[in-house]
């Protein structure tokens, strides 16, 4: 059984929450971090690392 409370971190691209997990080994709390790419991430990535750039 999992129980979680999601809380937005001060970083707007990260969500941190703790899950209380019950299994055959017992009960423990796990911290989960989810990272979301900013909307303009792909555009910025392509600008700095173009596909057709020769080395």
Question: Measured between alpha carbons, how far is 11 from 29 in angstroms, rounded to an integer?
Answer: 22
Tell me if 54 is assigned to some domain.
no
Tell me if 17 is assigned to some domain.
yes
Tell me if 55 is assigned to some domain.
no
Q: What is the pLDDT of residues 7-51, one digit of tens each?
A: 554 567 788 999 999 999 999 999 999 888 877 888 888 888 877
Tokens of 51: 């596909």
Range of the domain at 20: 2-48
Question: Measured between alpha carbons, how far is 3 from 51 in angstroms, rounded to an integer?
Answer: 44
What does pTM read for this prediction?
0.41
pLDDT computed for residue 5 by the predictor: 57
Tell me if 26 is assigned to some domain.
yes
């Amino acid at each position: 059984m999992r129980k979680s409370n999601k809380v937005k971190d001060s970083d707007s691209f990260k969500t941190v929450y703790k899950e209380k997990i019950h299994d055959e080994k017992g009960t423990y709390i796990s911290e989960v971090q989810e990272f979301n790419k900013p909307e303009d991430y792909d555009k910025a990535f392509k600008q700095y690392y173009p596909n057709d750039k020769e080395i």
